[in-house]
Amino acid sequence: MFGAGPAHAQSAIAPFYTETTIYVIDKDQTLVAQSKVIMARKADGTTVHIRSVVPRELTTLVRELEFMDGNKITLYDSIKMKSTWPKDEGADNKSVVDALSPHSYCDVHGASVRLGDSMILGQTTNMVQQMIAGRYRVTQWLAPALGCEVLYYESELINSDGSFTLTAKGTTTVLKTGEPDSSLLDVGSTYAETKPSDANTRPLEQMHVSLSSSAAPTVQKENTQADWRYYSGDPNKARWGGVLPAK
């Protein structure tokens, strides 16, 4: 999702649960459902995003927990493993609370144009549009009562003749206000701590699935980058995982 910027925050954080379907253009230039993303937020600001593991055909889900104090945990429930990330010491609790609290209206980072308002799943949303690198036009429908959460978006390619071609969109199909199911935000206290690359590859090994020759380099690069982020803030974790990946 594209991030919304704080605009006139008002009061306490609103808890909610959403399910969003992501659509992309396939090789036949047809818009197809690629994945479903689940998001839930508690009134204390703790937030979880749930996504599928690469490749997306696998049913293994990953939960990404973010806490107001800057701590983050990625949990792999099917294999009972987790990666606890270095704490963001620069996290500003007040700024985060302001950003997640209800707003009188929403904006996005960078130059943008507000197009008007519309209703989505019972929520008033602000339609905000911006150009990205002169190549894409992105339009978002942001819910001010939910801390400017994106309930719908469209990404369009700007063609050489000035016309637009839809390349992706996200549609929220389920929205429930109120405290989410506590199991979604469980911290996995009994899970084994591991570096991200191990947790990402374990489901593939268990299912005897191999990545295609085209996908393997990309996944390997992403795993290496994730391991570096994982080790960067805590030198002791480097000893747990052995030799750090080469840059």
Give the residue among 109, 89, 93 at the shortest CA–CA distance from 101: 93
Residue 18 contacts residue 36 (beta carbons within 8 Å): no
Mutual angle of helices 196-206 and 216-232, in 10-degree steps: 140
- For residue 187, the model assigns a pLDDT of 94
- For residue 95, the model assigns a pLDDT of 63
| pTM > 0.75: yes or no | yes
Provide the CATH number for the domain formed by 4-193 in this structure. Answer: 2.50.20
pLDDT in tens, 14-66: 999 999 999 998 888 888 888 889 999 999 999 999 986 544 544 557 899 99
- pLDDT at position 137 over 80: yes
pLDDT confidence of 143, banded at 50, 70, 90?
A: very high
What single string gives the DSSP state of each residue in 181-246?
Answer: PGGGG---TTSEE--HHHHHHHHHHHTT----TTTHHHHHHHHHHHHHHHHHT-HHHHHHH-SPPP
CA 124 to chain centre: 22
Residue 100 contacts residue 94 (beta carbons within 8 Å): no
- pLDDT at position 125 over 50: yes
Report the C-alpha gap between 186 and 118 in whole angstroms.
35
- pLDDT at position 177 over 80: yes
- pLDDT at position 103 over 60: yes
pLDDT in tens, 190-214: 999 999 888 888 877 766 767 777 7
- pLDDT at position 129 over 80: yes
- pLDDT at position 142 over 90: yes
pLDDT confidence of 180, banded at 50, 70, 90?
A: very high
Residue 89 contacts residue 232 (beta carbons within 8 Å): no
- For residue 59, the model assigns a pLDDT of 54
Report the C-alpha gap between 210 and 204 in whole angstroms.
7
Mean pLDDT computed over 144-150:
92
Residue 134 contacts residue 158 (beta carbons within 8 Å): yes
What single string gives the DSSP state of each residue in 103-150?
Answer: BSS-EESSS-EEEEEEEETTEEEEEEEEEETTTEEEEEEEEGGGTSEE
- The answer for residues whose C-beta is within 8 angstroms of residue 39's C-beta and 6 or more apart is 17, 18, 20, 47, 48, 49, 50, 149
Most confident of 71-80, 96-105, 198-207: 71-80
